[in-house]
Amino acid sequence: EKGQGIPARIDFVEHLGDHQVVYADLLHKGQRIIAKVPMTHRFDCDDGEIGIALPPAWCHLFDRDGQACRASA
């Protein structure tokens, strides 16, 4: 939702039945986020700027080489 979370712009959305994969560019960060989202939250490339907010436990982070980053204790 615009105005909440990290500002991003949707680049591409794959609708895959019961879920969708949203590819978005984080504004002012120069980085991309890819999220698997249930179809209860519909997204489209025409949505413009959105806000991304999610629980840290749901996040899986990867470095530039595609290797998973380990969580620190």
Q: Average pLDDT of 5-33?
A: 89
Tell me the average pLDDT of the chain: 84
Give the pLDDT score at 1: 47
Q: Average pLDDT of 31-41?
A: 87
Q: Average pLDDT of 8-23?
A: 92
**pTM, entire model:** 0.71
Q: Which residue has the higher pLDDT, 21 or 49?
A: 21
Residue 5 has pLDDT above 70, yes or no: yes
Q: Which residues pair with 58 in a beta bridge?
A: none
CB 23 within 8 A of CB 16: no
